[in-house]
Amino acid sequence: MTQNLQPMATFQPLAGIRVIDFTRVLAGPYATMLLAELGADVIKIEMPQVGDETRAWGPPFVDHTSAYFHAVNRGKRSVVLDLTGPQGRAAVDSLIGTADVVVENFRPGVTERLGIAADEVVARHPSVIYGSITGFGTTGPMAQDAGTEVIVEAESGLMSITGAPGQEPVRFGVAMVDLATGAALVNAVLAALVERGRTGRGRRVDVSLYATAVSALGTVIAGTSAGGGATRAWGSAHPSIVPYRAFTAVDGHVVLGATNDAMFTRLVDALDAGATLGRREWAGNAARVSARAEVDAAIQDAVGRFTVAELLDRLRAHRVLVAPVRTPAEAARSAQAAALGLITDDGGLLIPRSPLGPIGTRELGRAPDLGEHTDAVLAEIGDSIDAKEGV
């Protein structure tokens, strides 16, 4: 059956939804930026003079604001209010009264001190969805502990399996737990909005970096509990597939893999390495895993005879998994990124859109200056005079 689909460029399902954003640093701002990309009106509440501390996380800076801040705060409106005083708190409460969603990721105890604790907000505004991001959740022995990305990577076990074998543990090259937690919060908020459409009532939704990290380890934890042995860092390799890792070519690095035995046979042919890799005992993956060091060494010898371009041509022609190891800058300027419309060029500042960009969500404007929209937003709620005393 043919469906009448809306043009992709009009995909703004959250148009008309207002989000009051108390978040800072990464997980929370990334979540609210995703909501903005889906069409929501996101109002970022910032403290006077300083605002979100990542505004100062540089160099590099763009218009006196860090590139880091620009990357995850686009498409929002910035309002400066002092939540330590009664005028600022009154203005915030008025704003929440016009909103559908509130999002915060403060350290434990901060929302209580600022008068925006979840229980208080939901009691005053029962239709509001109140989303929280914490380090370790709201219950349990670590609930009151501050949990940043690197702390959670260590506590969850992620850091123990990241890095090169035999070397010291390392953190992810980018804060993937923060980003994944932000995406998890968006899922929870969207589900709560659907529920509110049926019941008319909001709810509190909580996600934590720790829960995200432990959940991400699902295959590892399951494998260990099923007798898979102790976990360790594998570098670029895979614990259960050989070959499946990075190798060094004449002029760079490639990642290649054989996820089944037929593909391994094609790999051997592509590398003209039958004499060293075509041994009958290596025909099955389990045997190659057992002989990992020897197999990988033989592949490295073969790969080392070719340039990256030659390897890409050979292995792709033989339908073997292969990719060059690119830098982020190279990926941002790639033909595939351009085809998907993933990169916004804002006067030379390159900003990747979220994974939702290719499905037709709106392209967001530049991140706001501190307090850029204070007067306009307060005027919308009729509190522009009184609230300015709390700015």
132-164, pLDDT tens digit by residue? 999 999 999 998 988 999 999 999 999 999 988
HSE-CB for 56 with a 13 A CA cutoff: 5
Mean pLDDT of the chain: 92
C-alpha dihedral sign at 123, 190, 102, 204: positive
Q: Are 34 and 329 in contact (CB under 8 A)?
A: no
Least confident of 160-174, 220-234, 242-256, 331-345: 220-234
Given the residues 178, 251, 301, 375, select the one marked as catalytic: 178
Which residues have a Cβ under 8 Å from the Cβ of 232 and sit 6 or more positions away? 160, 161, 165
The three-state secondary structure class of 237 is: coil
Least confident of 22-26, 36-40, 97-101, 341-345: 341-345
Record: fold of 18-217+361-381: Rossmann fold (3.40.50)
Model confidence at 227, pLDDT cuts 50, 70, 90, reads confident
pLDDT for the residue 235: 87
The three-state secondary structure class of 343 is: strand
Model confidence at 376, pLDDT cuts 50, 70, 90, reads very high
Which residues have a Cβ under 8 Å from the Cβ of 387 and sit 6 or more positions away? 81, 87, 88, 90, 91, 94, 378
pLDDT above 90 (res 72): yes
pLDDT for the residue 146: 84
DSSP one-letter string for 68-122? HHHHH-TTEEEEE--TTSHHHHHHHHHHHHT-SEEEE-PPTTHHHHHT--HHHHH
Residue with tokens 């620009």: 70
Segment 96-113 shows an average pLDDT of 94
Tokens of 320: 């073997």
The domain spans of the chain are 18-217+361-381, 244-326
pLDDT for the residue 383: 54
User: What distance in Å separates the CA atoms of residue 170 and residue 153, rounded to the nearest whole number?
Assistant: 9
Q: Is 52 labeled as catalytic in the residue annotation? A: no
Record: fold of 244-326: formyl-coa transferase, domain 3 (3.30.1540)
Give the model confidence (pLDDT) of 299-318 as tens digits: 999 999 999 999 999 999 99
Q: Are 53 and 25 in contact (CB under 8 A)?
A: yes
Segment 121-133 shows an average pLDDT of 97
Distances 168 to 58, 159, 160, 210 between C-alpha atoms, Å: 27, 10, 9, 22
Query: At residue 310, what is the residue type?
Result: E
Backbone angles phi, psi at 192, to 5 degrees: -65, -35
Read off the pTM: 0.89
pLDDT for the residue 384: 44
Model confidence at 5, pLDDT cuts 50, 70, 90, reads very low
pLDDT for the residue 385: 40
User: Dmax of the chain from CA atoms?
Assistant: 83
Q: Are 373 and 43 in contact (CB under 8 A)?
A: yes
pLDDT for the residue 230: 72
By CB atoms closer than 10 A (0-12, 13-18, 19+), residue 349 is middle
